[in-house]
Structure 1
């Protein structure tokens, strides 16, 4: 449940903290504001600014995306997005973000200034690349890297990905394009491997199949290079290394790993060995999962967790098995464990969001929509996703319906109605309204309760609310004569005499002896025929303006035939009188007179 007042207090506290330079406190307060009211785009925008000041471009970007998703017409959202991407050195993406904002807000100075700054940095000299030989030395993305990718069991499947291989090929010809690919963790991973860094944790979320015949992909996609690292034709013949040689080298993969580990201290060597063993357990679990051997798969993932408790992927895969086997409680427990491990070990926000989303789905399957919605909110705070947002909105709608259905109780509705009647007799109109509204929530399809509520709302001068409820009563029971009489009374109070005529006549059509409809029709007819003579000119104009606001009156006046007849009343009375012999035309003229648009006498 949202609490806008509390959210505003936290936002103000965050603003003060940010102005005083206490960025951590600012982020905490903005987060509390979002938890209190996650529908306000300003809170995400402010937190994005705080994250950016704190040097956290990834979180700044996530909040900027949330800002735009909630309110696409808020210009600062695009400024936040562009600034976050700029800080991450994703220059092309930052320019695109600013251009998207400028297309909507062409006069926004912040957007114009932001795009100028990005273009200036993008076109300036490359920074931070000297140590990697990007300025013209050896290219770390040469074919030696493709061989290393093939020989590593974790990266070998990348060779089957056309998008990844296209990036590698581009980097081989233009190493400086790396700045555009920093968002792809696979590129950064293989770059680290090329430069001699250790492999990172396995971020796999879903249960994936084992790698295919990666050497076939390498054979087809390898770009031959010379010993100098430059791209060349096959005709050169110098320094090329074929996939067949790479295949031969694959036999020495395990030996190479052991030799690398001999240079490490015993604790680090043990950690690396456990990570390798954990990955093998995970792969075995994946195979068992595919074979629908769920218990054995879970046991394999438990072995992986015991060997490497810092990798959230193993708990996440476990959760997937529990979900598939419809073990909702175990799935929830595994998802929350995955999130806890992910946060403790700085796993990607997207992976943590996936765990929360699966947790939400498990709660949904259990029928616990409240917790399911809460998990979706956590997922969105980690990494905004449109699909999760849609799922959350659908859950909120379903919860609203289920809560309303659970509240239904005819007995309690009757009790509330009787309390309302007592308050009405004692002229405690406000209390009567509250009791009738409670009764309507308990029994929304009871026309008598709606009729009583309409009467009470009239007493507190809420004529629009009264009309809405009486129309609902008639929708529930079109033969409910009391409701037609009440509708006519409300329309008289709203100065809609032409509508009141129809309501009273409809009621008398159902029950010709109904005293309330008879009396109402007599009074409104008298008002129409004689009331105009007692009105001031200003009152007549006000009445006519009110009538003109009615779409039915507007439709009558727009009819060319009716326009001619109204003209004939002044220029050709005989023709007008002949037209009045037609019952349909006569009814329309009477309606115009009753509304005050056409005045007689």
Structure 2
């Protein structure tokens, strides 16, 4: 956001405050702060809105921010003292007002703030009026907070310097019934209206609308020959401006240059929209020269460079903008935007690593869901790019040969390491995955071995060695029924394959041996292992198979007839191989 937008938010806040829309005013001031977090006036205005709303804690925090941004702003100390006073931290309030007076000894608002805080701290004098003569509790209108309200209202603040007026106020505080004697004084009626509204005390940044009905709202009798007060035109919203008279010539020039820089920047924006890039760039440089503390001008240059595809210059400007922003406490959101633009420039250059790093840094400044999505997408793209860049068939073959050498030397760990490197270089090479599966079996990683051999078969379904290896692995993990299927698949491709033939004989021998030598406990364990296989579970839930298993005991002839069906026979043999069905 630009400084001009920040001023628009501030103006909206002033209008809302004047209309009594406190929440809306606070939100508008917050937007102004987000747009330009270096402007102390925005914090001061929001402090006033918070105090009027009754939120003295937040009012105090904004008052502290006001002072931190500009220790030479007298109203910052008034804000802080008023907030502390509202919190009934009287000693702290007095200290805040006195801290301001140390810098601005002639400031009437600070002087009255001290007096008011001391009065509330020490309690009312014994002779103070109880208010019994005022109907409706009107004595409360002239309590200790009245001075604070007068002090913080821009229209009434000057009255505090009038000795005659102050004498009347003190008399009213001592005896509210004396109001009838002062009703001809328009200033007293104005203050009465201020007290009734409970408004002006916190609206330092606006002119109160003249109240013509203030007198009628009181219970005091109307004056008979009272002269009409001077008619005032409704005052426009007055934005709180810095008192440049208190600044040194150097400070005054700095403020004036900052305002001029914003105008130059706006001219640059118009040139940018008209695609007059060279002229726009010159305007942004001019603005930066006038106000080198504002990162917005540099960020605009970065946007121009991005539009014209000058990626390196864009990155350089973004980096400079962030540095200036950090040094001058620019809004976190603005710094994050510069970093995201820098990330996009790196992405255009093809450097996804640095683009992702910039996004991460931006998220630390100001978290944004869109930036998070962008970063995640780039991370996926980088992962794919890294894998693709690593592919190399020649280097894969070299790693495979090193793995073969280690395997022959029974150095299984090194063999696995080299084969894994070969797989990364050539992920679609089935023989390399077959070798890796063999090496993983040697270190007892059967799950990993099975995963790689299944991937090898997926790559090349006619690779007979992979089917034989798959059967061998399944025998090792006691899935004999699956091993039989794997050997059969291999033999279907090459009926003469010795590995598949030998594997088939071995697994049949194991099944027969298990049936004749296992203890009942071992058979039960084997059956439980087989039952864990979803394929076995599916066979057992088949009604036809259930009937055949029942017929083996009750009607062997029917069972034998059913076994003539090759599909049924294959399923029964699978149950036997798994150990779920015992044959002896």
TM-score (norm 1): 0.61
Quote the Cα distance in structure 2 between the aligned partners of 1:442 and 1:521. Answer: 34
**Counterpart residue number, 2:413:** 430
Offset of 1:175 from its aligned partner? Answer: 3.6
Is 2:440 the counterpart of 1:588? no
Q: SS of the residue aligned with 2:428?
A: coil
Quote the Cα distance in structure 1 between the aligned partners of 2:25 and 2:19. Answer: 10
Equivalent position to 1:401, from 362, 384, 403: 384
Equivalent position to 1:545, from 518, 528, 531: 528
The 3 A distance-change label for structure 1 pair 430 and 358 is same
Aligned 1:67-466 pairs, distance under 5 A: 154-155=5-6, 157-158=8-9, 169=16, 172-173=19-20, 175=22, 184-185=31-32, 192=44, 260-466=243-449
Quote the Cα distance in structure 2 between the aligned partners of 1:574 and 1:444. Answer: 53
Offset of 1:367 from its aligned partner? Answer: 0.6
Quote the Cα distance in structure 2 between the aligned partners of 1:155 and 1:193. Answer: 13
**Partners of 2:295 and 2:321 within 8 A in 1:** yes
**Counterpart residue number, 1:468:** 451
Which structure carries more relative contact order (alpha carbon 8 Å, separation 6+)?
Answer: 2
Offset of 1:186 from its aligned partner? Answer: 5.0
- Matched length: 411
The 3 A distance-change label for structure 1 pair 577 and 185 is farther
Q: SS of the residue aligned with 2:266?
A: helix
**Partners of 1:369 and 1:395 within 8 A in 2:** yes
Quote the Cα distance in structure 2 between the aligned partners of 1:406 and 1:491. Answer: 35
Offset of 1:436 from its aligned partner? Answer: 1.1
**Counterpart residue number, 1:91:** none
Offset of 1:407 from its aligned partner? Answer: 1.5
**Counterpart residue number, 1:569:** 552
**Partners of 1:360 and 1:371 within 8 A in 2:** yes
Partner deviation per Cα, 1:543-573 (whole Å, 9 max, x = no partner): 2222122221122223333333333333443
The 3 A distance-change label for structure 1 pair 355 and 154 is closer
Q: SS of the residue aligned with 1:377?
A: helix
Quote the Cα distance in structure 2 between the aligned partners of 1:572 and 1:185. Answer: 91
Quote the Cα distance in structure 2 between the aligned partners of 1:519 and 1:292. Answer: 79
**Counterpart residue number, 1:600:** 583
Quote the Cα distance in structure 2 between the aligned partners of 1:375 and 1:392. Answer: 9
**Counterpart residue number, 1:505:** 488
The 3 A distance-change label for structure 1 pair 170 and 517 is farther
Partner deviation per Cα, 1:161-211 (whole Å, 9 max, x = no partner): xxx77x96488446478778885445996573597989x99xxxxxxxxxx
Aligned 1:473-512 pairs, distance under 5 A: 473-512=456-495
Offset of 1:450 from its aligned partner? Answer: 0.8
Structure 1 unmatched ranges of 5 or more: 1-151, 202-226
Partner deviation per Cα, 1:338-384 (whole Å, 9 max, x = no partner): 11111111122222222212111111111111111111121122222
TM-score (norm 2): 0.63
Q: SS of the residue aligned with 1:598?
A: coil
The 3 A distance-change label for structure 1 pair 363 and 530 is same
Quote the Cα distance in structure 1 between the aligned partners of 2:437 and 2:298. Answer: 57
The 3 A distance-change label for structure 1 pair 352 and 408 is same
Quote the Cα distance in structure 1 between the aligned partners of 2:356 and 2:398. Answer: 34
Quote the Cα distance in structure 2 between the aligned partners of 1:592 and 1:182. Answer: 77
Quote the Cα distance in structure 1 between the aligned partners of 2:344 and 2:501. Answer: 59
Quote the Cα distance in structure 2 between the aligned partners of 1:428 and 1:186. Answer: 67
Quote the Cα distance in structure 2 between the aligned partners of 1:283 and 1:182. Answer: 22
Is 2:542 the counterpart of 1:559? yes
The 3 A distance-change label for structure 1 pair 190 and 241 is farther
Quote the Cα distance in structure 1 between the aligned partners of 2:579 and 2:568. Answer: 17
**Partners of 1:171 and 1:177 within 8 A in 2:** no
Quote the Cα distance in structure 1 between the aligned partners of 2:233 and 2:285. Answer: 40
RMSD: 3.6
Offset of 1:497 from its aligned partner? Answer: 0.7
